[in-house]
Copies of this chain bind each other. A is one copy, B any other.
Amino acid sequence: MTMIGNLTRRTVVSWQKKALGQRIPLTTMTQNTLKDDHGCQILMSPSLVSLDLPDVWPPNSTDFRFRLAKTQSNEHIAAVINGQLIAEEIRSRIASEVRRMEEFIGKVPGLAVIVVGQRRDSQTYVRNKIIACEEVGIMSKVTKLPDDCTEDEILTALSGFNVDPSVHGILVQLPLPRHLDVGRISDVLSLEKDVDGFHPLNIGNLAMRGREPLFIPCTPKGCIELLIRSGIEIMGKKAVVIGRSNIVGLPASLLLQRHHATVSAVHVFTKNPEHITHDADIVIAAAGVPNLVRGNWLKPGAVVVDVGTNPIEDPSCEHGYRLIGDVCYDEAVRVASAITPVPGGVGPMTIAMLLSNTLDAAKRAYNFT
């Protein structure tokens, strides 16, 4: 297996171009990387992606033939996109930036987390986020509320963080207990601190040409970063996003479109989703269904990003369960050109993007570049 993530980027790019059967120069977009004053590059994806290339259509042509799908030997094994390694590299660059910030202005970024109830997965996610903050020097605060807390209690905690100048990012760990209105809660969250990027104004700005969101939601941003770091061209490619949740599927579709992919959004009411995915150069699977995407759903040479983290029982594992993705990995790895594993793919990137968004928020708050 070719491992992506250890910066053998040139090889991967040329290999990827071959896999997609095309020789297209990398756009300026993927080269338009974010560099700070010290030349320390944290993300490869641009912080603000513009939709504002002119939409000048070429004259139409009467020449019309179906392109036959390229066949490829099944002996092929996909390159594994190592999200763990890429996330570590990003975290280490964030740590340098936080140190530089502290050195120059005596401040560090701060993240506040509100967690409601005792869900084991939520507790684990929050713990991991706090540890990740500590590792890069981001200050963190956690407010824990009981399962039966009122909406007002959350709103009070949220309002406190909204006005706390040491807090630059706030997140409310989802899912919340059913009696709480997520919409009302995110409406109260200060837009400048919405590091999850779930506010509808932020989503609207992500969707619209000529507008820029303050934050790009972490998981989709992590998916795009994995693609770009793996030298995978997005512009002009056919992308399918499976799932249309507010936190992954929807913003992933909008973000891919900002990168000028042709995006199809597949959801539970899609008939024969495998026909649509089979035509895609890039598949982002975020349905929350274990092994939904089979090998025969994929076009040979497709790039597969698996957002699923579905626990399945496995007595041989330490906690009695293990995580599997939305993609049937063993089958997909024989068809795709590149694939993210579960665990170790998108998961670590989500936290890295949260740290990156928090750093951006603090830089914006202090006008520090």
A140 at the interface (CB under 8 A from B): no
Residue in B closest to A268 when the chains form the complex, CB atoms: B55
Lowest 9 A-B CB distances belong to which pairs? Answer: A204-B204, A200-B204, A264-B264, A203-B204, A262-B270, A260-B269, A55-B268, A64-B296, A57-B289
Contact: B203 with A182, CB < 8 Å?
no
A340 within 8 A of partner (CB): no
Nearest B residue to A278 by beta-carbon distance?
B66
Chain B min CB distance to A219 (Å): 15
A residues 242-274 touching B (CB-CB < 8 Å)? 243-246, 250, 254, 257, 260, 262-274
Q: Which B residues are CB-close (under 8 A) to A205? A: 200, 204
Report if A215 contacts B (CB, 8 A): no
Of A76-84, A124-132, A206-214, the one contacting chain B is A206-214
State A208–B62 Cα separation when bound (angstroms): 39
Q: Which of B54, B183, B257, B287 contacts A244 (CB 8 A)?
A: B257
Closest to A62 in B: B294
Q: Is the Cβ of A292 less than 8 Å from the Cβ of B208?
A: no
A100 in contact (CB, < 8 A): no
How many copies of this chain are found per oligomer? 2
> What separation, in Å, do the CA atoms of A215 and B268 have in the docked complex?
26
A57 touching B268, Cβ below 8 Å: yes
**Chain B residues within 8 Å of A297, by CB:** 64
Q: Shortest beta-carbon distance, A242 to chain B, in Å?
A: 9
B contact residues around A257 at 8 Å (CB):
244, 265, 267
Q: For A265, list chain B residues within 8 Å (CB).
A: 257, 262-264
Across the interface, do A269 and B236 meet the contact criterion of CB distance under 8 Å?
A: yes
Interface status of A73 (Cβ within 8 A of chain B): no
Could you tell me the distance in whole angstroms from the C-beta of A55 to the nearest C-beta in chain B? 4
Tell me the A residues contacting B by CB distance below 8 Å: 51, 53-58, 60, 62, 64, 66-67, 182-183, 199-205, 207-211, 235-236, 238, 243-246, 250, 254, 257, 260, 262-276, 278-279, 287-289, 291-294, 296-297
14 interchain pairs, CB-CB under 8 A: A55-B287, A57-B287, A60-B293, A60-B294, A64-B274, A66-B275, A199-B204, A200-B204, A202-B204, A209-B244, A210-B246, A262-B270, A275-B279, A279-B279
List B contacts of A272 (CB < 8 A): 67
Residues of B with C-beta under 8 A to A291: 60
CB-based contact B262/A264 at 8 Å? yes
Could you say which of B67, B260, B267 contacts A55, with CB atoms under 8 Å apart?
B267
List 11 other contacts, CB 8 Å, given A200-B205, A207-B207, A257-B267: A51-B244, A57-B268, A64-B294, A64-B297, A183-B210, A203-B207, A204-B207, A208-B246, A209-B245, A209-B246, A264-B264
